[in-house]
């Protein structure tokens, strides 16, 4: 007999309570801090994660690659496993536009995008069609979804223009660095990716050189709170089934204040420019902006590289 949603949710709660005392969230700082006390459920949400890592190793999680390869065939089904990404896409563009509003550096010019972890190309395609877009380079380490992205791209002749939209099956570690800072990208996007990598600090450090001076790094991810765990892991995956089981690992979530702290100390980045926007999926209504939502659930985050 198939377990009932309530029973599955209860087992998830019990499992999380056991693991909370064992799992520490991913580290943003390159230098781990030493704690004199063991982590508790409360401290786990308010302290920097200290998962050890090898900075020279790839930040790609093979388990995540396997998971998203299995979902590749349904990527462009607006009612399939990627439905929430399709519904979120308009908000992604709105947030980027808000960052660029009255920005003298990027206003009025053709923009070059780098979309990291592009998946099947939902954002990459839409960005390539914008009138102020020069080109989009989209990378992903998952070969299955990139095959879907390439096939879908061929359905639009405008996207087949040389250099308009380029997909690369690679990780950020293996992507060639710009020859000079000014050869970087105007907009580097990282949508729903940070919570799927092994070590977010080293991962972010690898992508920073790809943003040109005056350009923006724009991302979306999930805060590491009890609320986000209940919404994304229990309700979305276990109870409602609107997200494929195993998509999210709560210990990998990154809080907004951790990102702000990271960029406040990162040379060459305008920490004061950092902005965020909380969002929430409301069944039947789609994604909605939620004031203060960045402190407890899904959120957008953007920061500008000093010109």
pLDDT tens for the 307 residues of the chain, in order? 444 444 444 444 344 434 433 444 445 643 333 222 323 333 332 333 333 334 445 666 565 555 555 556 677 888 887 888 889 999 999 999 999 876 766 666 899 999 999 999 999 999 999 999 999 999 998 888 899 999 999 999 999 999 999 999 999 999 999 999 999 999 999 999 998 888 889 999 999 999 999 999 999 998 998 887 777 766 555 565 556 665 667 778 899 999 999 999 999 999 998 999 999 888 888 889 998 888 888 999 999 999 8
The CATH fold assigned to 62-102+109-305 is: Rossmann fold (3.40.50)
- CA distance linking residue 4 with residue 12, whole number of Å: 12
191 is in an annotated binding site: yes
163 is in an annotated binding site: no
- CA distance linking residue 161 with residue 159, whole number of Å: 6
Check residue 23 and give its pLDDT. 40
Model pTM score: 0.77
Sequence-separated contacts (24+) of 123-132 with Cβ below 8 Å: 123/89, 123/92, 123/189, 123/191, 124/149, 124/165, 124/167, 125/152, 125/153, 125/156, 125/159, 125/165, 126/89, 126/93, 127/93, 127/187, 127/189, 128/159, 128/164, 128/165, 129/156, 129/158, 129/159, 130/93
15 is in an annotated binding site: no
117 is in an annotated binding site: yes
Check residue 134 and give its pLDDT. 96
- CA distance linking residue 111 with residue 133, whole number of Å: 5
Cα angle 189, 193, 198 (rounded to 5 degrees) comes to 130
Check residue 247 and give its pLDDT. 67
140 is in an annotated binding site: yes
Check residue 226 and give its pLDDT. 81
192 is in an annotated binding site: yes
- Residue boundaries of the structural domains of the chain: 62-102+109-305
């Amino acid at each position: 007999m198939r377990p009932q949603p309530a029973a599955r949710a209860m087992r998830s709660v019990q499992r999380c309570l056991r693991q909370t005392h064992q799992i520490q969230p991913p580290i943003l700082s390159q230098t781990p801090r030493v704690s004199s006390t063991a982590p508790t459920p409360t401290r786990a949400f308010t302290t920097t994660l200290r998962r050890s890592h090898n900075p020279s190793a790839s930040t790609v999680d093979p388990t995540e690659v396997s998971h998203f390869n299995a979902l590749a065939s349904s990527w462009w089904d607006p009612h399939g496993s990627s439905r929430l990404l399709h519904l979120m896409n308009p908000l992604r563009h709105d947030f980027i536009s808000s960052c660029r509003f009255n920005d003298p550096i990027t206003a009025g010019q053709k923009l070059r995008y780098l979309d990291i972890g592009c998946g099947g190309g939902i954002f990459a395609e839409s960005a390539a069609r914008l009138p102020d877009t020069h080109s989009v380079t989209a990378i992903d380490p998952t070969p299955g979804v990139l095959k879907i992205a390439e096939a879908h791209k061929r359905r639009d002749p405008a996207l087949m223009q040389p250099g308009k939209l380029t997909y690369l099956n690679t990780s950020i570690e293996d992507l060639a660095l710009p020859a000079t800072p000014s050869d970087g990208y105007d907009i580097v996007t990282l949508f729903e990716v940070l919570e799927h990598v092994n070590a977010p600090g080293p991962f972010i450090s690898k992508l920073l050189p790809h943003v040109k001076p005056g350009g923006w790094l724009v991302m979306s991810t999930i805060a590491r709170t009890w609320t986000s765990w209940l919404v994304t892991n229990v309700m979305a995956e276990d109870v409602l089934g609107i997200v494929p089981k195993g998509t999210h690992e709560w210990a990998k979530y990154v809080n907004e204040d951790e990102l702000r702290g990271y960029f406040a100390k990162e040379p060459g980045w305008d920490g004061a420019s950092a902005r965020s926007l909380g969002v929430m999926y409301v069944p039947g209504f789609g994604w909605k902006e939620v004031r203060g939502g960045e402190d407890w659930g899904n959120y957008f985050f953007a920061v500008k590289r000093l010109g």
